Each structure stands twice: as structure tokens, then as C-alpha cells.
Amino acid sequence: DGGITQSPKYLFRKEGQNVTLSCEQNLNHDAMYWYRQDPGQGLRLIYYSQIVNDFQKGDIAEGYSVSREKKESFPLTVTSAQKHPTAFYLCASSTWGLTSGSEGDTQYFGPGTRLTVL
Amino acid sequence: AQSVTQLGSHVSVSEGALVLLRCNYSSSVPPYLFWYVQYPNQGLQLLLKYTSAATLVKGINGFEAEFKKSETSFHLTKPSAHMSDAAEYFCAVGSYGKLTFGQGTILTVHP
């Protein structure tokens, strides 16, 4: 089955600690995205990548870093500079770059990782 | 710049009643519009999307949405609510590979 996997499902971080969230897809999609979800605020874009070895900052990139060394993988590191409390992190992918219009804009989501700051 | 406004952060209906979730958008170009559903502690699942082929779009689980350009709206409806419809619903507008989401509407269904 094709899809997007995120691990771990639950993650705990102490203040001052860096942690990395994993996102893998086997959909052969070129574009991948990271969102943070806070109650009552919808989803906000952290970083996105439309091709291997290239990525762009989203609306709330401060305190986060990413890499895109392989098409299938787009890990997100939450650094010690990130002061935000507990949040739900979602990874997504799309065919943008291979297709355009509504098909290219359609994003498919993983199951999410809940990060708790201790 | 694009934006999405979902009117009503919480909507409560009785089982069997009409579901209406409101979404208004702002876009400088013809929009691609989406509705997603999220169950607790899960990712988002695509319900339906507007592609400009038809103004009335049918999605999964009996949901549909109508694109009204004059009202800049893309409201989501379902004729008869089921208990399993209880979830959070997000409207989004897409452009050049990126989505802008509304703040979400939590749907509660009472027996």
C-alpha cells in the first residue's frame, strides 16, 4: 500500500533538547511538507520541499530545520530554539512539480506525531 | 495572498439532521478548493476538491460542496448526519503547490 508514515507517534522533549521527527512516503511524490497544528489555529506551514536537495521556509520556520536528501524522506528537527509547547506535527506530500492545477495542489497526509515538551 | 475563513469553530447537530459547514475564501486567482476531515489524533483525509469542472462537488461519506464564485464560498453539506461524522473539518485553498487552511470546524453529532 502506498502512503505516508510518520514516526514516532508520540515524542517527548526536554527544554534545550533537539529532536527529529521522521516522515517517509512511497507515493513517488516530488513535493513534501511539514505543518504544525495548534488547537483553534488550523495548520501552519513550517517547511516545504518541491524537489530533492531543495527546501523553503514556510510561515513558522523559526526553531526548526529540515533536510531532503532522498525523494522519499523529509525529516524535521525541532531545535532547542523552538519554545513552542506541545503540538501535533503533520507531514504531507503532493505531486506538485510533476502535475499542476488542482491535482498538484492536492496534499496527502501522514498520521501525525504529537510532541510534548517536558 | 490567499485566505480561508470558516464560520463557526463548533457546530452541533442531531443525528439525521442536515450538516452545513461554512467556508469563504479570498484568492487573487481562480481557486482550487479542498475540504479535509480529521478524526482525533489522526492525520487529515481528503473529503473532496473543487477543480473547476463542476460547481457541485461530491465527496466521500455522502458529503458535497458547492462552489459559488459570486459569494466566494465553498460550503460543505451532508443531508443526514451520522454519529461517525463527528470530527474536525478543514477548508483549504491551493495555489502553486501550497495550501492555506482555515481554522477548522469541530462537528459534534448528538443522538
Grid-cell match 459547514, residue found: B21
Secondary structure (3-state) at A37: strand
pLDDT at residue B28 in the model: 73
Chain B nearest C-alpha distance from A66 (Å): 17
Cβ pair A42:B102 closer than 8 A: yes
State whether residue A104 sits within 8 Å of chain B by CB.
yes
CA angle at A100 for the pair A94 and A103, rounded to the nearest 5°? 55
Query: Which of B59, B5, B74, B95 lies closest to A102, judged by CA?
Result: B95
Mean pLDDT value across chain B: 93
Cβ pair A110:B41 closer than 8 A: no
Question: Could you tell me how far CA A4 lies from the centroid of its own chain?
Answer: 11
Cell of A12: 517527548
pLDDT at residue B79 in the model: 97
Identify whether A8 is preceded by a cis peptide bond (ω within 30 of 0).
yes
State whether residue A107 sits within 8 Å of chain B by CB.
yes
pLDDT at residue B54 in the model: 84
Q: Could you tell me whether strands B105-110 and B10-14 are parallel, antiparallel, or unpaired per DSSP bridges?
A: parallel
Element (H, E) at A102: helix A101-105
Q: What is chain A's pLDDT, residue by residue, as a tens digit (118 residues)? A: 679 999 999 999 888 899 999 999 999 999 999 999 987 788 999 999 999 999 999 999 999 999 999 999 999 999 877 777 789 999 999 988 767 776 778 899 999 999 998 8
How confident is the model over B11-29, as a mean pLDDT? Answer: 94
Using 50, 70 and 90 to split pLDDT, how confident is the model at B83?
A: very high
CA atoms within 13 A on the CB side of A111: 8
State whether residue A31 sits within 8 Å of chain B by CB.
yes
Chain B nearest C-alpha distance from A109 (Å): 6
pLDDT at residue A104 in the model: 72
State whether residue B101 sits within 8 Å of chain A by CB.
yes
pLDDT at residue A16 in the model: 85
Cell of A53: 536537495
